[in-house]
Homo-oligomer: A and B are copies of this chain.
Amino acid sequence: ETATVAVVPGDGIGHEVVPAALEVLDAVADIEFVHAEAGDAVAEQRGTPLPEGTLEAVSEADATLFGATGETSADVILPLRDAVDSFVNVRPARTYPGVDAVQPETDLVILRENTEGVYAGVENRLTEDVSTLTRLVTQSASRRLAEFACDYVESNGHDGFTVAHKNNVMRVTDGLFVDTVREEAAARGVDVDEAYMDAMATHLAMDPAGYDVIVCPNLAGDVLSDLAAGLVGGLGLLPSANIGSERGIFEPVHGCAPDIAGEGIANPSATILSAAMLLEFLGADGAARDVRAAVEATLADGPRTPDLGGTATTDAVAEAVVDRLPEH
């Protein structure tokens, strides 16, 4: 039966990179697309950045391809992650031959808890002077993430993973997180290393090649994955997947780039690679592999957008990727 994919371009270059990725998806899979709106522009027109219809479309689709939004990002992506019960955010960060990077040997993935931590925080302004946020960590969410991490490590041929945390300061909450992750990994026979998230930032900056898979709480994952993005040369090539038990949202790590929006020169690679993660999620592993290979081949010898030193348009890159796909 044909899969249904919600398509939410968002703002700015979202309207350029998402259509480019759709061309690629069209070439390899039979998908029914449902188009929906979210972000700054729709907030201005309709008073809300996340219209009811969009929330419904994403909640009902098998998967969602999301572009990028602007100022309203938190009001859009956080409720959408909730709507698909996305318990893990998968963020691979790797370099490609010929693409400049601060640390060219980087090839790792961050598995970020995606439902709680400070993101589930209930906040209060208690007095004029005092405000609080209640950070939430549950054993169940930690276990679910750990199970995913163990599956991920096994199916990708890694030895184990590193858990990053701050349990010397957040003793009870990150204590529960780390203990649960360690317990689950032990039960599964998966190796676990540990690092404080601050020390991890030093290590990543100096020697990212030392890491394959990093498992961490929500905010730690937010920061460490953006650090990894910096090491591989910016956000331009990084895809991500918000995985729930039945649905997922797939989005480039970059933003809506108002400075170049409308010029048709945005790099579509991150969104096309997000589409490959979407294909994998839908069980189309072969198509996912083909798309990834075509993106790599294009990065190696195809046209490049200005962010990578070229002069090609978004469409030219998308076409080059499609040209490099095997018959489907």
By a beta-carbon cutoff of 8 Å, the part of chain A in contact with chain B is 73-74, 78, 102-103, 118-119, 121, 123-125, 128-140, 166, 168-173, 175-176, 197-199, 201-206, 219, 222-227, 229-231, 233-235
Contact between B172 and A199 (Cβ–Cβ < 8 Å)?
no
Given A129-B140, A132-B136, 9 new contacts (CB under 8 A)? A74-B169, A131-B175, A131-B176, A133-B134, A133-B172, A133-B173, A135-B135, A202-B229, A223-B223
- Minimum CB–CB distance from A183 to chain B (whole Å) comes to 13
A225 vs B199: C-alpha distance when bound (angstroms): 10
* A73 partner residues in chain B, CB cutoff 8 A: 168
B132, A134: Cβ atoms closer than 8 Å: yes
Interface centre among A73, A124, A175, A229 (most CB of B within 10 A): A229
Please report the C-alpha to C-alpha distance between residue A129 and residue B140 in the assembled complex, in whole angstroms: 6
Give A206 to B199 CA distance when docked, in angstroms.
19
**Interchain Cβ contacts under 8 Å between A and B, 22 examples:** A74-B169, A78-B169, A102-B103, A102-B205, A118-B166, A118-B170, A121-B135, A130-B136, A131-B137, A131-B138, A131-B172, A132-B135, A133-B134, A133-B172, A134-B134, A198-B225, A201-B201, A201-B227, A202-B235, A203-B230, A204-B227, A205-B227
Contact across chains for B123 and A172 when beta carbons are under 8 A apart:
yes
Partner of A234, one of B198, B206, B222: B206
- The oligomer's copy count stands at 2
Contacts of A172 in B (CB 8 A): 123-125, 131, 133
Residues of chain B with a CB closer than 8 A to A123's CB: 170-173
With a cutoff of 8 Å between Cβ atoms, the chain B residues found around residue A230 in the complex are: 201-206
Give the complex CA separation of A225 and B201 in angstroms: 9
CB A138 to nearest CB in B, in angstroms, measures 5
* Chain B residue contacts of A118, Cβ below 8 A: 135, 166, 169-170
By beta carbon, the residue of chain B nearest A231 is B205
Chain B, Cβ-Cβ closest to A225: B198
- Quote the shortest CB–CB distance from A246 to chain B (angstroms): 22
Chain B residues whose C-beta falls within 8 Å of the C-beta of A206 in the assembled complex: 102, 230, 233-234
A199 to B235, CA, bound (A): 10
Residues of B within 8 A of A130 (CB): 136-139
Q: Which residues from B are CB-within-8-Å of A173?
A: 121, 123, 131-133
Q: Which chain B positions have C-beta within 8 A of A197?
A: 223
